[in-house]
Amino acid sequence: MAISAAAIAPLRRRCALAAPHIARRGVSALAVVPRLGGARPGAFAPSGLQLSRRFSAASNAVKVLASEIKHEEEQYEQAKEIKNFLKNSPFKLVETPGDVNMKLERELGEQKVCIEWQLTNPFDPEGDAEGGEGGEEMSKEATELTVTVENKKGGGMIFYCSTQTGEDHRFVIGSVRTYATAEEKDRSSSYHGPEFEDLDDKLQEALDEYLAELGMCTEICDFVDAMAVDKEQREYVQWLKVAKSVLEA
Whether 26 shows a pLDDT value over 70: the answer reads no
**Closest among 176, 156, 190, 72 to 122, alpha carbons compared:** 72
Reported as a pLDDT band with limits 50, 70 and 90, residue 124 is: low
Q: What 3-state class would DSSP assign to 229?
A: helix
pLDDT tens-digit map of 4-22: 544 444 444 444 444 444 3
* Mean pLDDT over the full length of the chain: 81
pLDDT tens-digit map of 138-193: 446 799 999 999 999 999 999 999 999 887 789 999 999 999 999 999 999 999 99
Q: What is the pLDDT of residue 22?
A: 36
Q: Which amino acid is at 209?
A: E
Whether 65 shows a pLDDT value over 70: the answer reads yes
The pTM assigned to this predicted structure is 0.73
Q: What is the pLDDT of residue 189?
A: 93
101-108 and 92-95 as β-strands: parallel, antiparallel, unpaired? antiparallel
- 57 in Cβ contact with 25 (< 8 Å): yes
Whether 35 shows a pLDDT value over 50: the answer reads no
Between CA 144 and CA 141 the distance in angstroms is 10
Using alpha carbons, list the distances in angstroms from residue 15 to 8, 53, 114, 167, 183.
12, 28, 34, 30, 44
Give CB contacts under 8 A, 24+ apart, made by 70-76: 71/13, 71/17, 72/10, 72/14, 72/233, 72/236, 72/237, 72/240, 73/237, 75/9, 75/10, 75/13, 76/10, 76/233, 76/234, 76/237
- 173 in Cβ contact with 159 (< 8 Å): yes
Q: What is the pLDDT of residue 101?
A: 98
For 85, residues 6+ apart whose C-beta sits below 8 A from its C-beta are 219, 220, 222, 223
Query: What does the pLDDT average to over 120-133?
Result: 62
Q: Phi and psi of 21, rounded to 5°?
A: -65, -45
Using alpha carbons, list the distances in angstroms from residue 131 to 2, 13, 19, 20, 21.
22, 15, 17, 19, 22
Query: Residue 114 pairs with which residues in a beta bridge?
Result: 105, 148
Q: What 3-state class would DSSP assign to 205?
A: helix
